[in-house]
Amino acid sequence: MPPPTGHRPTWAEIDLDNLAFNFHSVKTFVGSEVEYMAVVKANAYGHGSVECSRRLESEGVDWFAVALPEEGIALRNAGISRPILCLGGFWPGQEKQLFEFDLTPVVFIPEHAEMLNAAAYAAGVTKAIHVKFDTGMGRVGVRSEEVKEFASRLVAFSNLKVDGLMTHFAVADKLAENEFTNQQISRFQHAVSIFNDHGFHPKYLDMANSPGAVAHPYSRGNLVRLGGVLYGLGGDVLPQEIPLPVLKPLMSLKSQVAMVKDVPLGETIGYGRTFLTKRDSRIATIPIGYHDGLSRALSNVGSFIINGCMAPIVGRISMDWTTIDVTDVPDVCVGSEVTIIGSQGEATIKAEDIALNLNTISYEVTCSIDSRVPRVYVPN
């Protein structure tokens, strides 16, 4: 696919058919006994929340999850009608937006529940919420020893309806840590029983993230949250020792050669003079840099694909440009297409490969692709 016209020739192609394939692949693997929540926070992990949500809604996803009310509002403004859960809850002053845009907040702070109940009372409505327990993630959520007190306080908030209870796994992707995951499940079940004892009987019990849904069938409850697997990012966030659903990557990151130059033996390339040519070389300059989300840590480490061949990054990646050594690549010229993530001929670079070089995960790689890199969706 050619780059967008009238724009710097650096772009990300997002395959929405692969998004649909991944959803149905995981759904077939997990089963139809549960409902499915698509996690589209952080611009759908860099893939475009509006476009991905529209396709997933048409494919039958039951829920969407965002981090912030602002992300949920953007989906509503784009016409998304399915329930939307705000995983990060809300901030004081955002209560009215939850009503206006029909967003369901996750609640784990008593004062926030009190504020939301007051707003619901003033509006003359009852607001559905999900309550999150911290069963071992150590991040946000009601701690196990505080569940009883939290439930007791919620009883007094008659304008709130506890529609769901949830938690989040810390190591569901590591089978060697199953004992800890099982402990989290046990803590969750105990917290649910406390809420039941206080008269709460929520519709949804929600524990499983992507690795939980795939690797721990007993954790699925009746609602699972699918994040990275929807975008084909399972290679470094799912345990590889067990059967897995077939996944296809969505994102291909591409550019074109802006300049090719001959550089003799013994010259340096880029800031800091970190690369010295060890032979007469051909160097191609590519219009993508660390502001676009190409980490500077890939300098002199990563590679691009050009004309079906791997070409190493040489010198430091700068804000807007990257230089690669194409001495061994035939027929490189201005306008030659370059693949940063994706496949060209027999060569492939996955987001997981880049993540391995950066000592991170593929989620960070795709989330980091900046908004100045246009997303081009196929099919349109």
Residues serving a catalytic function are 41, 271
Phi then psi for residue 13, to 5 deg, are -95, 130
Residue 369 in tokens: 């692709």
Do 324 and 310 meet the contact criterion of CB atoms below 8 Å apart? no
Furthest-apart CA atoms within the chain: distance in Å? 78
Q: Is the C-alpha dihedral spanning 327, 329, 333, 335 positive or negative?
A: negative
Please give the Cα distance from 281 to 164 (Å, whole number).
Answer: 61
Do 182 and 174 meet the contact criterion of CB atoms below 8 Å apart? no
Contacts of 225 (CB under 8 A, 6+ apart): 37, 39, 65, 206, 208, 209, 210, 213
With CA atoms as reference, report the closest residue to 181 among 151, 149, 220, 147: 220
Helix axes 110-123, 147-155, angle to 10 degrees: 20
Contacts of 270 (CB under 8 A, 6+ apart): 299, 314, 315, 316, 318, 323
Helix axes 49-59, 16-30, angle to 10 degrees: 50
Count Cα neighbours of 220 within 13 Å in the Cβ-side half-sphere.
18
Residues in the chain, how many? 380
Please tell me whether residue 298 adopts helix, strand or coil conformation: helix
Do 85 and 71 meet the contact criterion of CB atoms below 8 Å apart? no
Do 255 and 336 meet the contact criterion of CB atoms below 8 Å apart? no
Angle of CA points 230, 235, 240, to nearest 5°:
115
